[in-house]
Amino acid sequence: MFWFSLRSILYPENRYIWIQVRIIHETNKAILIDHGRKVWIAKSQIAKIRLRRGIFEIYVKEKVVR
């Protein structure tokens, strides 16, 4: 079998990752985070937020943060 299909080439799936962040500021539409550098992320791009061992983690598309 093929390890990939034509569909996966034409429509690559969005990869989501958990990243540790420090939330600096929040507005109605976005959150300013510190993950090595300060970045505004729209709330619509954040899939999940969790607090683990006193550290905030957000679940976002890999290409949003990098």
- The answer on pLDDT for 52 being more than 70 is yes
pTM for the whole structure: 0.73
- The answer on pLDDT for 11 being more than 80 is no
pLDDT band at 5 (very low <50, low <70, confident <90, very high): low
Listed in sequence order, the residues at least 6 apart from 16 whose beta carbon sits closer than 8 Å to its beta carbon are: 47, 59, 60, 61, 62
Mean pLDDT taken over the chain: 86
